[in-house]
Amino acid sequence: MIHLSARARWFPLALFALTLTTFFLFGDTLFAQDSDVPKRAPNIIIHIIESAGWIFGPLLLLISVGLVALVVLLAMDLRMSVAIPPGFVDEFTDTVNKRRFKEAFEMARSDPSFLGRVLTAGMSRLQYGLEDAREAANNMLESIRADKEQKNNYTAVIGTLGPMLGLVGTVFGMILAFIELGGGGIPKPEKLAAGISHALVATLLGIAISVPAIFFNAYFRNRIIRVSMDTGHIADDLLTQMYHNSKKAAPTGTTVAPTMPTPTPAAPAPAAPTPPAR
């Protein structure tokens, strides 16, 4: 029943997407009307591809492919199941409660998740105290967070670079149009329209790249904060639990620190004998 309801929920969206694609690809044929002079309106998708040109078209296409790759990479890396694997916390806690600390350390070191890397860094310093372990874990967490933020910064760069490239294409298309107007004689309408179309298409494609880039930059920035906070809290709880269990595993007898022996006072020297009286 759940599977059928999911299909029923996605079916209207798929139908709408198919209808929208059919309208853009074949709208000029479906809604064409007869006239005295038969004209065939160009397909809008093909017209955009042709008007983009051989310079700005491949360049904007390359940037859009890079954006898609970044979005997919960050979406795969910032999943909660990748940062905190399901079942890892329960298994690690059970191992620590059984005081198998070496096995718990190997479990964390062999796990490539965010939590496993943070726990490995913290546990390697746990012998020097809980505060040192927390500091090492926080340093590893900040390193992971900085790596993801560095990748996410490229989406912000694409969001800024898209309109700039579109503006350059706009200026270039207007230059082509004014060259045709100022070339002398009667300007050809098709060349004038080609220059203006190139300017508008370059602007359209630049904005079309920028809008999703800005959205995904904000989304992944909030996602990085959420994942890092959850990982840090769980890692701190597990390190604290392991530290206290290790203290309980130690012998309960108290050891007395050795003390230096206190020197005994020297005995007084015997008095010299008095000579006998004459």
**What's the number of domains the chain is made of?**
1
In a domain, 30, yes or no: no
In a domain, 268, yes or no: no
In a domain, 264, yes or no: no
In a domain, 156, yes or no: yes
Check residue 272 and give its pLDDT: 47
Whole-Å CA distances, 188 to 126, 158, 179? 79, 37, 11
Tens-binned pLDDT, residue by residue, of the chain (278 aa): 333 444 444 445 455 555 555 544 444 544 444 444 445 556 778 878 888 878 888 899 999 999 999 999 999 999 998 899 888 889 998 988 888 888 989 999 998 899 999 999 999 888 888 899 999 999 999 999 999 999 999 999 999 998 898 889 889 888 888 888 877 677 788 888 888 888 889 899 999 999 999 999 999 999 999 999 999 999 999 999 888 888 774 544 433 333 333 344 444 444 444 544 44
The pTM (predicted TM-score) of the whole model is 0.68
Range of the domain at 205: 43-247
CA distance 265 to 255: 30
